[in-house]
Structure 1
Amino acid sequence: MPDFALGLAALGRPAYINLGRDGALPADRDVEAMREHCHTVLDAAYEAGVRRVDAARSYGRAEEFLAGWLDSRGHRDVRVSSKWGYAYVGDWRVDAATHEVKEHSRERLGRQWAETRDLLGAHVGLYLVHSLTADSPLFGDLDLLLALGELRDSGVRLGFSTSGPEQAGTVRRALELEVEGRKLFDAVQSTWNVLETSVGPELARAAESGVEVFVKECVANGRLAVDPPARVRELAGRHGVGPDAVALAAVRAQPWADVVLSGAASADQLRANLAAREVELDPDELTDLAEPPERYWATRASLAWD
C-alpha cells in the first residue's frame, strides 16, 4: 500500500485555502505559535509511523520549521521533498492581497535551491518544480532545462507537481523531457481525488514506467471533509471513520499511487486522516463522483485564503 506523507502547506504560514481549518490552528497565528503547532503535528505524524514530509519554498516558513524539528528531534529516517517556483509574499498576513507568486526561471531555481539546501541539506531526497502547467516557460527555456540537468547530475532527484484542468497533458509532456539524453524527472505530484480524476490514466502510465507518483489534495482542499457527497458520508458511517478518511482511502486504493499526502492542519486532523489505513475500497468505488475538470478547478480557484 502507498506511504502517507505530511504536507506542510497549511502549517508553514498563517493562511491557506483548505476548508475546515477553523479551530485547527492556534488562535494567535504568529510565527512562534505556528512553529510550535507545526512541530506538534510533525511529532504526531512521526509517532504514527509517517516518515515522509512535503514542503515548498512558498509555504511560508515550512522549510525552516521542518529543519528546526529535524535538528531538535535528531530524526534521520525522515524523507523530505520540497518544491521551487513559487515565492511566499504574504508578509505573514492572513488578509494579504497576494500570498505567493509563481516564476519558473533559472534565476529562481538557483536562488530557491540554495535556500532549501541551506535549511534542509541532505534531508532533501526530492526537489520538484512547483505547479507545472502546460503554459510554463520551463518547456521552452533551454537555460533553465540545462540548470535542472546540472542539478540532476549533481545527485539531486527531480520531479514536478501539477495543477489545473490540463494536468494529464502536462504530466505526459514533462515526463518526455530529456537533457543531454537523460530523462529529467522521475517523480510526479498531482491532484487526484474522487471529484477530480482526470489525471489518473497518465499517473498510471507514469507508474508503469517507474516514475514515483505522489497524490496531493486528496480531500479536495477540505471539500470532501466539510461537505462530502452523500455516498462518501455513508461509507464513513459504515466504516466508523470521518469522510476525510474515506476520501484518502479512495486514493490509497489506486494501484498507481506511491505516496498519499495529508494536508492536515492539526494532530487531530492527521489522526483522522490516517484512519484511511483501516478502510479498504475498490479502485473505482467512488470515481463516478468526478466533476468536469474545468468545473472542479474553477471551484478551487474560488476558495478564499483563510
Structure 2
Amino acid sequence: MPFRRLAATTTPTAHVGLGLAAVGRPGYINLGREEDLPADRSVDALRARTHDLLDAAYAQGVRYVDVARSYGRSEEFLADWLAARADVDDVVVGSKWGYTYTADWSTDAERHEVKDHSLATYERQRAETDALLGDRLDLYQIHSVTPDSPALTDKELHARLAEAADQGLTVGFSTSGPAQTDAIRAALEVTVGGEPLFRTVQSTYNVLETSAAPALAEAHDAGLTVIVKEGMANGRLAAPHAPQVLREVAEETGLGCDAVALAVILRQPWAGVVLSGAATVTQLASNLHAAVVDLDDDQLARLASLAEEPGVYWERRGQLPWH
C-alpha cells in the first residue's frame, strides 16, 4: 500500500495531509472563506493558490494530497503541479469518485455537486481522473458512502474495483452523515473472492463529531489506513468561531485553535492521516503545528466535553452556506 511510504517517514508532519476541497473550486461551505480567498477566484487565481499551498506543504514534510472529481479542478491543479515538479516522486495521491461537480465555476449555483455511485459513473470518472493523474494516482475512493449506498451491494462495481486493485491501485471509501459508523461497518464486510475490497477509509472526525471513532478503530484493526477529514468542522473549530473551551486550551498551549483541534485527532491510535483543509499558506503552517502540540489529560477531558450528537452536528453542517 502507498501509505507504507508515509509510515516509513520520520518527519512529524508526514501524517498530516493536504486536502484541496477548499481551493479547487470557487465555492465551498467553510466558514471564513470570504477572508481566506481573494476576490479574484478565477481558474488561474485558484490554480496559483493551490500551487503555493502544495509548495509550502511539501517543503514542510506533507506527503499526502487529497482531491476528488467533485472538487472543481483540484485534480487538474494537482496534476499541473506534479508535472512542474519533476523532483517530487514521494507524494501519495488520493482522489475520489461518486460526485460530479455541477457548479460551472460559480459560487451561487443551485446545485454544486450531484451524487451517483453507479458503475457507469465510476467508469466515466475513473477515465477522467486517469487522463489527469495517470500513474501518479495511488488511491481511488468511493466518495461519501452512506449505509444505503448502492456501492455497498453492487457486485459488478466490486468486481471492477477489485480489478483496479489487482492492477496496483489502492481502493478505499469515504463516509459522511450521522450514520458513518453503520457505513464503515457495512463496507468492512464487502469482499471479492473472499478478500476484503477496501484498504482505506476516510471519515469525518473532530472534537464536535466523534461518533465514528469505534468503527474507525475496528477498520484500523482490520488493516485499513484511516484518513480523517473535516478535522476543523468546516471552520467551526477555527478562530474566531471556535468554542470557548477550545480557545482556552489553545491559549494554554500557546498555539492556535486549529493546531489543538487537529492534535486531538493525531493522538487517536487509529488515525493514519489527518487532512488539513487550509486555504492559505499561513493557515497551513498553523495547522502543521498540530504535530507538536502536547495536551494533558485535563485538557483532553475538557475538549471531549464539546462532542455533539451526530444528528445535531450533521444538521448544522447541512445548513452551512456555499460561498
Distance 1:66 1:234 in 2: 37
In the alignment, structure 1 residue 70 sits paired with structure 2 residue 87: no
Contact 2:253/2:294, CA 8 A, preserved across alignment: no
Q: How does 1:210-289 map to 2 (within 5 A)?
A: 210-225=223-238, 226-281=240-295, 284-285=300-301, 286-289=303-306
Which of 297, 301, 304 aligns to 2:314? It is 297
Which of 40, 60, 63 aligns to 1:28? It is 40
Q: TM-score, normalised by structure 1?
A: 0.97
The letter of the residue matching 1:202 is A
The answer for unaligned runs of 5 or more in structure 2 is 1-11
Equivalent residue of 1:134, what SS?
coil
The letter of the residue matching 1:188 is V
Distance 2:226 2:322 in 1: 27
Report deviation, 1:132. Answer: 0.3
Contact 2:18/2:65, CA 8 A, preserved across alignment: yes
Equivalent residue of 1:244, what SS?
helix
Distance 2:59 2:288 in 1: 12
Contact 1:253/1:282, CA 8 A, preserved across alignment: no
Q: Give the aligned partner of residue 191 of structure 2.
A: 178
Q: How does 1:1-306 map to 2 (within 5 A)?
A: 3-74=15-86, 75-225=88-238, 226-281=240-295, 284-285=300-301, 286-306=303-323
Report deviation, 1:22. Answer: 2.3
The letter of the residue matching 1:249 is A
**CA offset digits 1:80-137 (Å, max 9, x no partner):** 0000000100000011111100000111111111111121112211110000000111
Coordinate RMSD, CA, aligned: 1.3
Equivalent residue of 1:151, what SS?
helix
The letter of the residue matching 2:308 is E
The letter of the residue matching 1:78 is V
Distance 1:128 1:280 in 2: 32
Distance 2:266 2:294 in 1: 9
Distance 1:12 1:124 in 2: 17
The answer for unaligned runs of 5 or more in structure 1 is none
**CA offset digits 1:51-81 (Å, max 9, x no partner):** 1100000000000000000111221111100
Q: Count residues in correspondence.
A: 306
Equivalent residue of 2:233, what SS?
coil
Distance 1:193 1:99 in 2: 25
Contact 1:242/1:272, CA 8 A, preserved across alignment: yes
The letter of the residue matching 1:65 is F
Report deviation, 1:230. Answer: 1.5
The letter of the residue matching 1:304 is P
Percent of residue pairs bearing the same amino acid type: 56
Distance 1:156 1:271 in 2: 31
Contact 1:57/1:86, CA 8 A, preserved across alignment: yes
Equivalent residue of 1:204, what SS?
helix
Distance 1:25 1:69 in 2: 20
Q: TM-score, normalised by structure 2?
A: 0.92
Report deviation, 1:282. Answer: 5.4
Contact 2:79/2:132, CA 8 A, preserved across alignment: yes
Equivalent residue of 1:16, what SS?
coil
Equivalent residue of 1:188, what SS?
strand
Equivalent residue of 2:203, what SS?
strand
Report deviation, 1:288. Answer: 2.4
Contact 1:253/1:280, CA 8 A, preserved across alignment: no
Distance 1:282 1:120 in 2: 42
Distance 2:107 2:207 in 1: 29
Distance 1:280 1:187 in 2: 28
Contact 1:26/1:37, CA 8 A, preserved across alignment: no
